[in-house]
DNA sequence: TCGTGTGAACCATTTCACAGCT
DNA sequence: AGCTGTGAAATGGTTCACACGA
């Protein structure tokens, strides 16, 4: 059978590429604002601080959108990336744990600017439950099932202490979310059809302390702190 | 390089492994609290939700710490991982941007529980500068050079809006920090001897939306969110 | 000529599978 | 018999280098 896809490559997109797409998108939006009509892989690569071949390979996975000799049309490329990322679809988000972190998330540029709708907030602390935070009121976590049944969040964010995280994850899964973003420093267990990603501050810090110690040693001098050198780490995009 | 290290393997440790070490450490601490004296790679792998061979390979990079037929001594292994990670050394941290996120970081389990010392906070907002947040007072960002000269932060955390991030990074580098953890949604430029890592909420969300859209399509049915309602379907529904 | 799209080489990481120690 | 440590195979991702189209 001769199936030429009308468009849209069905190719599998590697996770590493998926993580870079939002970065490209952000940079392209800057170029668009600056009124630049086209961009080369070279220029985009410089902005994203990655290799130009990587940019071309990443973009080619979405389809052949470039013009040889010219580069990519900025506006068109943005549209293609947004389509791949599902921008424009509706992604209702529930956030559990309305401490400083939860509050930071509610008000974050990350949500508002990309069409993620915060539809429900939960906590257990009496002084928080019932209060307005950002666009909604905070419910008690016990009401998660009923509230979720009504609002159908498709992404759940866990911003609780580690001790509560698994329990919350279970509740979110039961409530039907398809993806969980976990900020608690805890390995979680969820069914394999639920997407789970971690953002873990303490891991990031410890990774830094690992490389800093190594470097201090390698530089031969000094105890931990300041201004030792010798090794060049951060080869390139640690854009995680 | 004419030397048998007295101890401490000189082998290069892959970044992927470095990121897992803090996870193992956390799990081992749990086992220690539970009074379990030894652990097998199999058990630790189950807890970390990774492959057992991976655990063995990761740990073997630090040295041969296991006992065949028995497993690893929990307390000893913790000590080895902590040594590799530079736990116990002094890592003074400066945080720039004391909004909700900055505040969340100051009070975070991540800092307190791993010996990271928050030595200085900075912001530009008048209503924040001069106030106590957590253990210290917030300085105006303009005072970063003088404050840093005194306190020698070795890690800088950027929790500002994207627009200010590069400027802050430059100031931190000039002040001599060797590592920067950037929470702003912005690609930064730093000298190659400064370690730079990103934590980017909006990327994480967009990655989720990518996989969720794909799944919605693949599942053949449903609109974007779970349990269909409203909203238009994305182009074509073909499987693959 | 410029710059994309892509096979092929390269490098990193994961997983397998098993020899060898306890 | 049980479990580590590690070569070797498999997989995933990056970079090179160049044919080809605009």
Domain map of chain A by residue range? 15-83, 91-201
Q: Which residues of B80-97 are buried (b: 16+ CB within 10 A; e: fewer)?
A: bbbbbbbbebebbbbbbb
CATH topology of domain B15-84: Arc Repressor Mutant, subunit A (1.10.10)
pLDDT at residue A16 in the model: 98
| Residue A236 near residue A222 (C-beta atoms within 8 A) | no
Q: Which residue has the tokens 């988000």?
A: A93
| Residue A183 near residue A159 (C-beta atoms within 8 A) | yes
Tell me the nt nearest to B71, Cα to C1': D3
Tokens of A173: 């899964």
Domain A15-83, classified CATH 1.10.10.10, yes or no? yes
Band of the pLDDT at A215, cuts 50, 70, 90?
confident
Chain A residues touching B185 at Cβ < 8 A = 26, 109-110
Tokens of B91: 């890592």
CA distance B106 to B109: 9
Residue B29 pLDDT greater than 50, yes or no: yes
Strands (E), B49-194: 66-67, 71-73, 91-96, 116-123, 132-133, 136-140, 155-158, 179-182
Chain B contact for A9, CB < 8 A?
Answer: no
Sheet with B132-133, edge to edge strand ranges? B132-133, B136-140, B116-123, B91-96, B155-158, B179-182, B195-198
CA distance B118 to B135: 8
Restricting to A residues 180-199, those with a Cβ less than 8 Å away from any Cβ of B are 181, 185, 187, 189, 195, 197, 199
Chain B residues touching A206 at Cβ < 8 A = 21-22, 25, 85, 87, 114
| Residue B49 near residue A172 (C-beta atoms within 8 A) | no
| Residue A215 near residue A230 (C-beta atoms within 8 A) | yes
Give chain B's radius of gyration (CA, Å).
23
Q: What percent of chain B has pLDDT over 70?
A: 86
pLDDT at residue A219 in the model: 60
How many other CB atoms are there within 10 angstroms of residue A16's CB atom? 12
Q: What percent of chain B has pLDDT over 90?
A: 79
Phi and psi based region of residue A88 (left: phi greater than 0; alpha: psi -120 to 50; beta: remaining): left
Q: Which of B175, B170, B174 is nearest to B186 (CA)?
A: B170
CATH of domain B91-201: 3.40.50.720
Q: Which residue has the tokens 């921008």?
A: A87
Q: Which of A9-13, B7-11, B170-174 is predicted least confidently?
A: B7-11
Query: What's the CA angle centered on A39, arms A36 and A43, to 5 degrees?
Result: 115
pLDDT at residue A231 in the model: 28
């Amino acid at each position: 059978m001769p199936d030429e896809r009308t468009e849209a490559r069905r190719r599998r997109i590697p996770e590493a590429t998926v993580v870079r797409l939002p970065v490209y998108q952000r940079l392209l939006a800057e170029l668009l604002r600056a009124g630049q009509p086209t961009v080369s892989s070279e220029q985009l690569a410089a902005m994203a601080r990655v290799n130009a071949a990587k940019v071309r390979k990443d973009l080619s996975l979405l389809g052949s959108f470039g013009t040889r000799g010219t580069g990519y049309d900025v506006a068109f490329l943005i549209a293609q990336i947004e389509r791949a990322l599902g921008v424009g679809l509706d992604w209702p988000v529930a956030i559990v744990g309305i401490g400083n972190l939860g509050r930071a998330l509610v008000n974050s540029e990350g949500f508002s600017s990309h069409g993620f709708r915060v539809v429900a907030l939960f906590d257990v602390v009496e002084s928080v439950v019932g209060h307005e935070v950002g666009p909604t009121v905070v419910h008690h976590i016990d009401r998660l099932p009923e509230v979720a049944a009504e609002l159908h969040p498709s992404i759940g964010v866990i911003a609780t202490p580690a001790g509560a995280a698994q329990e919350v994850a279970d509740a979110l899964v039961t409530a039907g979310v398809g993806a969980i973003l976990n900020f608690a420093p805890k390995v979680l267990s969820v069914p394999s059809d639920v997407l789970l990603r971690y953002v873990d501050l303490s891991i990031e810090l410890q990774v830094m302390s690992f490389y800093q110690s190594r470097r201090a040693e390698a530089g031969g001098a000094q105890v931990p702190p300041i201004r030792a050198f010798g090794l060049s780490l951060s080869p390139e995009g640690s854009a995680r």
